[in-house]
Amino acid sequence: MSFRGPRVAGAAVLCLLALSGCGLAPVPPPPQTSAAQTRAPASSVGAPAPAPAPAPAVSVSGFSTYERAALRVRNLGCGGVAVGSGFAIADHVFVTNRHVVVGAAVLQVSTYDGADITVNTVGAAVVADLAVVWTKESLPAQLRLAPSNPPVGAEVTAVGYPLGGELTTTNGRVLRYGPDPLGSSPLPMMYNDAPIEHGSSGSPLVDSSGELVGVAYAGGGGQYVAVPVEILNQVLKDPSKFSNGAGCG
């Protein structure tokens, strides 16, 4: 486990929270692939893991793209203060968990270098523990979404802010695909063994090339659960998969 970045001062029902007026903002398409980020699609679930791709480039500041794309989230709302994580997928859009943002009166968001980000609108998905957040300021980096789920055995890295503290990365492998342990979605979820803690909900799971393959939301006993990237891709392409209610859970 590694810890990066400065400290800064600073969960499931269906909701849509508009901090500057109610209404569901349009869901952006998945970010376009750049030449430097392309890779062959992952093989199907259960197939042998592919050979590791080259490690993602490290920025001048010493942080990889996926570390710079990770965000710290604090929810000040109905249940008090809750902490979580998220990651950028476009200049002004990031993804986190539905339970991280539900019931928020204020969302406090900060980047790897301690910059504060203003939230405009939040849309929560109805098919999985996912939420999409639109921001006022431009985000420092963004992740490319993999086109398909990683195979069992593939290496994954979780990047987030456990306990609302330091930027942390942990490594593991995809163990299997199975039912949602919380019973909130009928879709198959991705089990892996990259350790996460409270506050890591919404962390991105990236593959060996730095592409997003899952969104962490639960875990324990050596197995941690993420929403697979194929489900996230489906949600982003279809605004009907978002709710238009608001409330506390």
Which residues does the annotation mark as catalytic? Answer: 99, 129, 201
Whether the CA torsion 174, 175, 180, 185 is positive or negative: it is positive
Closest among 235, 237, 238 to 98, alpha carbons compared: 235
Q: Are 208 and 194 in contact (CB under 8 A)?
A: no
Residue 168, judged by CB atoms within 10 A of its CB (0-12, 13-18, 19+), counts as buried
Q: What is the DSSP string of 17-51?
A: EEBTBS-PPPPPPPPPPPGGG--PPPPPTTSPPPP
d(CA 76, CA 83): 9
Q: How far is CA 129 from each of CA 117, 141, 157, 168, 242, rounded to the nearest angstrom? A: 22, 23, 19, 22, 11
Q: Please enumerate in sequence order all residues whose Cβ is within 8 A of that of 16, keeping only pairs 6 or more positions apart, or say none.
A: 22, 23, 24, 122, 123, 124, 242, 243, 244, 245, 246
